[in-house]
Amino acid sequence: MEIEMASSHEVGGGGGGGEDIENGGGGGWGAEGGGGACLAWEELTAVLPNNGNGHTRRLVNGLTGYALPGRIMAVMGLSGSGKSTFLDSLAGRL
């Protein structure tokens, strides 16, 4: 299995006002001095190899987002929608 991921050093919505993760920006997630790690992903794609059958299959395609420390995040979806594949991709287990 192959994972394609382009990394970004900014966290932000579509408004273009991103905050620099490396320099401690991020809307208060490090404001109390407790630190923590921000997990960010951009254009996360997991591809299943073709195994000689012709076409590859994209299991996860073009996901972008971030998770802040001290916050609860839910990954929700129907059975077979790729939740476990997404989490395995973030954990580097694919």
- Which pLDDT does position 34 carry in this prediction? 59
Query: CA angle, corner 77, sides to 28 and 63, nearest 5?
Result: 55
DSSP states of 9-28 as a string?
Answer: SEE--TTS--EETTTT-STT
Per-residue pLDDT of 11-66, as tens digits, reads 444 444 445 544 545 555 444 555 788 999 999 988 888 777 778 888 888 999 99
Q: Is the pTM of this model over 0.95?
A: no
Distance CA 8, CA 21 (A): 9
β-strands 19-20, 57-67 pairing: unpaired
Helix (H) or strand (E) holding 43: strand 39-48
For residue 41, the model assigns a pLDDT of 92
